[in-house]
């Protein structure tokens, strides 16, 4: 009996220590990466390629998701807003939801799978194949070479991708309202402008910046901590997607509570 | 390859920035470079927020830029941007009102003479329009709720007061009212018939009065003709003598009547006394009563009368036995 209790306590304690160690290592990685910003000659040449990989290459999937999100939002809004609620509130609902929530969050979740897993797998492979060690041996700063350009590229490109996704989501919702819901453009635009505030766009940008940092930071963290060969790489990629998605949703709630 | 990648990244970045900036400006209602600032002071602003539409005669002419309480806290200043070509009325004011029932408000520029509301705030500063805000839907809802509660109380009281017994009594009262109205109808019908009879009688009386008047007129004409004739004075003198004789006859009759009244009084007194005597006789009091009531006395009286008659006869026959005259 005593052994079982002590075993359970050891399990909880071990998990707690592991989690705290992980948080501490993440914090240490963050601080080290911030310190690596000084080595601009190392990370700057890699910034643009990473922007292309993380940002430009992610635009199609982000727009695809935003398009169908806008269509579904418009249809569901018209399905919900019946009776006494005027139909132009479809525009309000589509616009507000796309700008404040679905545009940034769905894009970030999508990119957590695409970008985060990609980074984790790439760095994990480099770790298990000792390429990271080779960089250190060659006196390269691996963080400035691998982490900083990816995180900076995500911070810069995530808002761009999110803005495009928001625009296309609203546009697809608009077209859906015109073609399927028997609404007119003035009605949709009236609803779209009804409760619009410029701050909404800034809110979306701030969120997407934080989401970009989280997705790439988590990918780099788990990638650099990969062990045990290909299996470890797969595990790191999975963990990256899961943790990044959780952090995205937590941040989403945090920003909503603090900024709105 | 590298240059193409750079161009692609630059294109995406610029496109994203352009979408964000242009979209924001468009959703705000477009560029407003040449807008004119307008201010209005109100007691409160309801749910008006920055970005709300400014309308003039129903047309959107601008947007609300900011809403802020004045430094003294006595009013709320609404800052607006409107089109420069807009010509405001001389007595322009700003009315804040809900644009729909879903919480979106607007600022409407209007003339005070068009809508003479008593609660426009007249802020003592040049260039500030007087403003007012209509009650919020929440206040209207609260008022409606209060009315509904009052109606509920009234209905409950009515329900308490209006029992089955009340309904029966009310029904009985209605029936009574029906009966009363029927009775009143009958009375009115009777009265109408009587009035008709009366009116017919009045008509007949009026006809008779007319005939009598005509007869009287004829008589008076005759009297006038008689009075106007030659023997009228003699007739009047004879009439005066006749009247004088009648007056003296009347006086004599009066005196005779006075004597007769006295005689009647005496007769009354006599009859009263006779009543007393008869009463006494009936009760057996007094001589007459005893005489009437007691046969012995009557018989005694008869015997006494017979003896008295015999005595008188004896006296007549033998006066000296009973009477003696002597002088000295």
Q: Which residues pair with B93 in a beta bridge?
A: B110
Among the partner residues A86, A164, A196, nearest to B28 by beta-carbon distance: A196
Angle ∠(A84,A87,A88) on CA atoms, nearest 5:
125
Whole-number Å distance between alpha carbons of A35 and A114 = 27
**Chain-chain contact of B104 with A195 (C-beta, under 8 angstroms):** yes
Q: Does residue B42 sit within a domain?
A: yes
Q: Which of B86, B111, B136 is the last residue of a domain?
A: B136
**Chain-chain contact of B12 with A48 (C-beta, under 8 angstroms):** no
A156 touches chain B (CB under 8 A): yes
- Closest-CA residue to B108 (of B12, B154, B42, B177): B42
Interface test with B, best of A51, A103, A170 (most B CBs within 10 A): A51
Question: Which CA distances in Å does B300 have to B296, B304, B308?
Answer: 6, 6, 12
Whole-number Å distance between alpha carbons of B293 and A239 = 159
Name chain A contacts of B51, Cβ cutoff 8 Å: 196-197
Radius of gyration in angstroms for the set of CA atoms belonging to chain B, rounded to a whole number? 64
Structural domain count, chain B: 2
Tokens matching residue A87: 């139909």
Interface test with B, best of A53, A107, A195 (most B CBs within 10 A): A195
Name chain A contacts of B100, Cβ cutoff 8 Å: 86
pLDDT on residue A254: 93
**Chain-chain contact of B27 with A164 (C-beta, under 8 angstroms):** no
Whole-number Å distance between alpha carbons of A151 and A143 = 10
Q: Does residue B47 sit within a domain?
A: yes
Whole-number Å distance between alpha carbons of A89 and B101 = 12
Per DSSP, B134 falls in state P
Q: Does residue B19 sit within a domain?
A: no
Answer yes or no: are the C-beta atoms of B125 and B74 closer than 8 Å: no
Interface test with A, best of B2, B20, B103 (most A CBs within 10 A): B20
Q: Does residue B303 sit within a domain?
A: yes
- Closest-CA residue to B40 (of B73, B99, B72, B81): B81
| Percent share of chain B, pLDDT over 70 | 84
Name chain B contacts of A157, Cβ cutoff 8 Å: 12-13
Smallest CA–CA distance from B14 into chain A, residue: A160
Element (H, E) at A179: helix A148-180
Smallest CA–CA distance from A51 into chain B, residue: B9
Per-residue b or e along A178-203, where b marks 16 or more CB atoms closer than 10 Å to that residue's CB: eeebebeeebbbbbbbbbbbeebbeb
Using the structure block, give the residue that is written with the tokens 């029927």: B182
pLDDT on residue A83: 67
- Closest-CA residue to A228 (of A129, A133, A142): A129
**Chain-chain contact of B27 with A194 (C-beta, under 8 angstroms):** no
Q: Which of B136, B170, B194 is the last residue of a domain?
A: B136
Name chain A contacts of B19, Cβ cutoff 8 Å: 163-164, 166-167
Residue B292 domain boundaries: 286-318
Residue B83 Cα to chain centre, angstroms: 65
Alpha helix (H) residue ranges in chain B: 2-28, 137-161, 164-228, 232-283, 286-293, 295-317, 319-322
Domain boundaries, chain A: 37-259
Q: Does residue B65 sit within a domain?
A: yes
Tell me which residues of chain A, numbers 96 to 135, contact chain B at a CB-CB cutoff of 8 Å. Answer: none
Q: Which of B136, B154, B172 is the last residue of a domain?
A: B136
Kindly give the parts of chain B with pLDDT less than 70: 1, 30-33, 101-102, 116-118, 137, 226-233, 274, 277-278, 281-282, 284-295, 297-298, 301, 322-328
Among the partner residues B16, B51, B101, nearest to A161 by beta-carbon distance: B16
**Chain-chain contact of B20 with A194 (C-beta, under 8 angstroms):** no
Q: Does residue B59 sit within a domain?
A: yes
Residue B228 Cα to chain centre, angstroms: 64
Tokens matching residue A81: 């807003």
Closest approach of B12 to chain A, Cα-based (Å): 6
- Closest-CA residue to A81 (of A93, A98, A71): A93
Smallest CA–CA distance from B100 into chain A, residue: A86
Smallest CA–CA distance from A200 into chain B, residue: B24
Tell me which residues of chain A, numbers 18 to 47, contact chain B at a CB-CB cutoff of 8 Å. Answer: none
Tokens matching residue B285: 């009091």
Name chain B contacts of A188, Cβ cutoff 8 Å: none
Per DSSP, A58 falls in state G
Closest approach of A206 to chain B, Cα-based (Å): 13
Whole-number Å distance between alpha carbons of B59 and B107 = 11
Among the partner residues B5, B16, B100, nearest to A48 by beta-carbon distance: B5
Tens place of pLDDT for every residue, chain A, 260 residues?
788 888 888 888 888 888 888 889 888 888 888 888 888 888 888 889 899 889 899 999 999 999 999 999 988 888 877 767 778 888 988 999 999 999 999 999 999 999 999 999 999 999 888 888 888 888 788 888 889 999 999 999 999 999 999 999 999 999 998 888 778 888 888 888 888 888 999 999 999 999 999 999 999 999 998 888 888 899 999 999 999 999 999 999 999 999 87
Element (H, E) at A61: helix A59-80
């Amino acid at each position: 009996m005593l052994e079982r209790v002590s075993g359970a306590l050891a399990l909880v304690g071990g998990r707690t220590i592991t989690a705290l160690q992980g948080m501490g290592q993440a914090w240490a990685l963050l601080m080290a990466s911030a310190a690596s910003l000084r080595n601009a000659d190392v990370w700057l040449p890699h910034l643009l390629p990473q922007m292309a990989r993380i940002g430009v290459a992610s635009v199609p999937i982000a727009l695809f998701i935003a398009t169908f999100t806008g269509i579904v939002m418009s249809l569901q809004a018209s399905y919900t807003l019946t009776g006494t609620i005027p139909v132009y509130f479809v525009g309000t609902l589509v616009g507000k939801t796309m700008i404040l929530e679905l545009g940034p969050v769905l894009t970030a979740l999508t990119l957590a799978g695409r970008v985060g897993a990609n980074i984790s797998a790439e760095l994990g492979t480099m770790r298990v194949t000792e390429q990271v060690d080779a960089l250190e041996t060659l006196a390269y700063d691996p963080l400035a070479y691998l982490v900083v350009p990816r995180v900076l590229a995500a911070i810069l490109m995530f808002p761009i991708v999110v803005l495009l996704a928001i625009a296309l989501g609203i546009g697809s919702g608009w077209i859906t309202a015109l073609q399927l819901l028997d609404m007119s453009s003035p009605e949709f635009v009236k609803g779209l402008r009804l409760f619009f505030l410029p701050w909404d766009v800034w809110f979306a940008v701030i969120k997407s910046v934080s989401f970009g940092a989280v997705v790439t930071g988590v990918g780099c963290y788990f990638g650099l901590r990969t062990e045990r060969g290909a299996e470890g790489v797969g595990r790191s990629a999975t963990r990256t997607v899961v943790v990044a998605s959780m952090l995205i949703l937590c941040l989403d709630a945090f920003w909503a509570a603090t900024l709105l | 390859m590298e240059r193409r990648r750079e161009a692609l990244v630059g294109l995406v970045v610029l496109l994203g920035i352009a979408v964000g900036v242009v979209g924001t400006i468009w959703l705000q209602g477009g560029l407003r470079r040449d807008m004119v600032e307008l201010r209005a002071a109100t007691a409160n602003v309801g749910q008006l927020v920055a970005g709300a539409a400014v309308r003039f005669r129903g047309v959107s002419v601008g947007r609300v830029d900011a809403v802020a309480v004045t430094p003294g806290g006595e009013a709320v200043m609404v800052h607006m941007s409107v089109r420069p070509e807009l010509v405001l009325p001389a007595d322009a004011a700003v009315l804040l009102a809900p644009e729909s029932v879903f919480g979106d408000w607007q600022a409407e520029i209007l003339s005070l003479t068009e809508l003479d509301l008593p609660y426009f705030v007249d802020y003592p500063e040049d260039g500030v329009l007087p403003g007012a805000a209509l009650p919020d839907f929440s206040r209207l809802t609260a008022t409606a709720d209060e009315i509904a509660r009052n109606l509920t109380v009234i209905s409950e009281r009515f329900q308490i007061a209006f029992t089955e017994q009340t309904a029966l009594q009310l029904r009985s009262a209605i029936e009574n009212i029906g009966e009363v109205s029927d009775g009143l109808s009958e009375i009115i019908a009777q009265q109408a018939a009587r009035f008709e009879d009366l009116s017919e009688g009045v008509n007949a009386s009026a006809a008779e009065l007319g005939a009598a008047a005509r007869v009287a007129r004829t008589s008076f004409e005759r009297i006038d003709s008689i009075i106007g004739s030659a023997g009228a004075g003699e007739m009047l003198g004879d009439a005066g003598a006749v009247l004088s004789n009648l007056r003296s006859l009347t006086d004599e009759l009066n005196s005779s009547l006075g004597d007769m009244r006295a005689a009647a009084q005496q007769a009354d007194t006599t009859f009263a006394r006779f009543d007393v005597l008869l009463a006494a006789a009936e009760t057996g009091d007094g001589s007459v009563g005893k005489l009437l009531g007691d046969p012995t006395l009557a018989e005694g009286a008869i015997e006494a009368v017979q003896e008295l008659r015999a005595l008188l006869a004896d006296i007549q026959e033998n006066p000296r036995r009973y009477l003696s005259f002597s002088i000295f």
